[in-house]
Amino acid sequence: MQPSPRAYVPFVSVDTMMRLVHRIGLSQMMRDLADYIEEDFRRWELFDKTPRVAAHSDVGVIELMPTADDALYAFKYVNGHPKNMKDGLQTVAAFGLLADMTTGYPVLLSEMTLLTAIRTAAMSALAAKHLARPDARTMAVIGNGAQCEFQALAFQAICGVDTVQLYDVDPAATAKAMRNLRTSGLTLVACHTAEDAVEGADILTTCTADKQRATILTDNLVGAGQHINAVGGDCPGKTELHPGILHRSDIFVEYAPQTRIEGEIQQLDPDHKVTELWQVVAGAAPGRSTARQITLFDSVGFAVEDFSALRYIKDQVQATGIAKNLDLLADPDDPRDLYGMLQRAAPDLAA
């Protein structure tokens, strides 16, 4: 018994996602994703929004990230387990689903481990487009793990960064990043300390993995005019910046109720002023106003960005036909006769 075509849901596997990235080109995909996110940020108030639902343990966190507009519902399942690296596993793994709000039927199921890495980098660069100095060309990346290369390439593609200064407590991670980026056209500088990495940098990106209150950047390392892209602080008890930096910066976040729980600003008083980035994108609030201003994007990732990413992948799947069809939904001829569908399938299943 063959499933009805209506029972099939397009499925983007890891292999399919990689094929899609290589077909489109990573830099172009990042620019496209930034455009989709920007479009959705301009209609931010139309989305259902809630801080992600998290289950924490001593070694990591598992989270669900839901949101919806009037047409589509999306959620992402994602984990964060820094200890996984020691076992040869990814620190972050994810998948996501997009559904039709009028029927409740899924319209896309996708891997999101790769997609989250690409989306996160595109979001970082989009924020910098609005917050960094227009002449910013040199970026420091402190933490050279799985997100590092995506960040470097997104800032190159979207912001025009041409020089990346790399530092990690593990020199092997920096060497890996140098190898992977050698044909990117970027000028790459391997640094021995965080101080060396931030010297002369216009943009400071921190993306470390350990779940702890760390001080990756001390207050004395940040100077006038720099933009800080704080990516690694993304759950309660995990931070990367000295509190003094926060007090000297104009802080921009995705969704304040979530960032106050998970971001760098968990170190501040609950009423400390922050600006949600959608307001800058929509022209409702200023971003950078002076060349000497220190701007900080306290990035934890928010469900609307994943909605944008899944919406983009859905459009690419429809245009290319590259996705696989997954038999995910029961679809009896008579919607009231689910049992009858089960019984009629018995001869075929026994064959």
What is d(CA 243, CA 215) in angstroms, rounded to the nearest whole number? 9
Cα 225 from Cα 267, distance rounded (Å): 23
CA atoms of 117 and 306, how far apart (whole Å) = 11
Spatial separation of the C-alpha atoms in residues 230 and 263, rounded to whole Å = 9
What is the three-class DSSP state of 68? strand
Q: Please tell me the distance from the alpha carbon of residue 175 to that of residue 42, in angstroms, as a whole number.
A: 39
SS3 assignment for 279-321: HHHCCCCCCCCCCCCCEEEECCCCHHHHHHHHHHHHHHHHHHC
- State the catalytic residue, choosing from 234, 250, 333, 337: 234
Helix (H, G, I), strand (E, B) or coil at 48: strand
Q: Measuring CA to CA, which residue among 201, 243, 188, 255 is closest to residue 47?
A: 255
Q: Which amino acid is at 333?
A: D
Structure tokens at 87: 């076992």
Q: Residue 316 corresponds to which amino acid? A: Q
Residue 135 falls in the annotated catalytic set: no
Q: Which residues are catalytic?
A: 234
